[in-house]
Amino acid sequence: MTVSIDDALAVDAVAGLWADPPTLPTKWLYDERGSLLFDEITRVPEYYPTRRETAILRAGSADIAAVTDAAMMVEFGSGTSTKTRLLLRAFAERASSAGRPFTYVPLDVSTEILESSSAELALDYPDIGVEPMVADFTSPDLTLPAAAGPRIAVFLGGTIGNFDVAERAAFLRTLADALAPGDYFLLGADLIKDTGRLVAAYNDKAGVTADFNRNMIEVLRTGLDAQGLYVDDFDHIARWNPARHRIEMWLRARRDIDVYFAALDRRWRLPRGADVLTEISTKFDPGDLADELAAAGLDVVKSWTDDAGDFQVTLSRR
């Protein structure tokens, strides 16, 4: 019997689960439950990045607005977060005191998320034009809307850390191509630090990150109609990879796994103790980050860190 595979999860599962090491794209961690769990992660004591980046933007947004004088903010991974709002307020104040309009372009692959977040922001910021855009910002033909002044592309949260070296270079190149000379890029990136603190941030005592990681099994089970696949058969592992300066999240089989995926008409076996890679979270050295930006044609204008030096927000210019 042959099964035609037109489902994105099925395609990724076939490409990843039989690879060495087995892996699945990180995006499958973020179904509805996964997104709620990530929200919860941002509030556990060990997970510092969200709090640090928010503090940086609380202190630095007015400065960012003044340096860039942007007429448009394009945000990758549209959000209604505190961080988005801090920036919007600063840009809107600056633009309106100069008598200029300001436009916010939330960009996301999910139409539903875009619509709800855009409607909410449009209500809260009546003097900002909100123009949501459905797009995949990793696709090479990314085209941004025109603006009456400098545009600023914003990529927060340290999500750039999810890309490996090659994906990062490709993303920065695509982005630089989509920007015009004089446009800006604002990037939030987590910095290399004490290994104990890094690992703890991805292995919190309350077990929220473990639940978040193990939710991938549930996504596979329901999405691919799996028989014999159980969340409790996997342990959450968070490991620091010093050579690639990144945290890696893995799922380790607690027993021999033997699964039948009805949606694939395929069997998947994983021996006890074997690991599946589910997420990388790269941490940066500020100098190396500046070099990577420069290699893509983006020159660092200014950067901000929190008091503890944990996280960095970097403004670069095309």
Interface ranges with ligand AVJ (CB under 6 A): 41, 49, 157-159, 161-162, 202, 209, 212, 279, 281
C-beta of 68 vs 314, nearer to ligand AVJ = 314
C-beta of 79 vs 149, nearer to ligand AVJ = 79
At its nearest, how many Å lie between ligand AVJ and the CB of residue 161?
5
At its nearest, how many Å lie between ligand AVJ and the CB of residue 41?
5
At its nearest, how many Å lie between ligand AVJ and the CB of residue 49?
6
- The strand pair at 128-130 and 102-108 is best described as parallel
C-beta of 149 vs 161, nearer to ligand AVJ = 161
What is the Cα–Cα distance from 296 to 313, expressed in whole angstroms? Answer: 18
- Please give the span between the terminal C-alpha atoms of the chain, in angstroms, as a whole number: 53
| Strands, E assignment, the chain | 72-76, 102-108, 128-130, 133-134, 151-155, 184-190, 226-227, 234-241, 246-253, 257-261, 266-270, 275-282, 299-305, 311-317
Query: Which residue's C-beta sits nearest to ligand AVJ?
Result: 281
The token pair that represents 258 in the structure block:
């033997």
At its nearest, how many Å lie between ligand AVJ and the CB of residue 213?
7
Place of tokens 């090479």: 140
Sorted by sequence, the CB contacts under 8 Å of residue 228 that are 6+ apart come out as 257, 258, 259, 260
At its nearest, how many Å lie between ligand AVJ and the CB of residue 234?
15
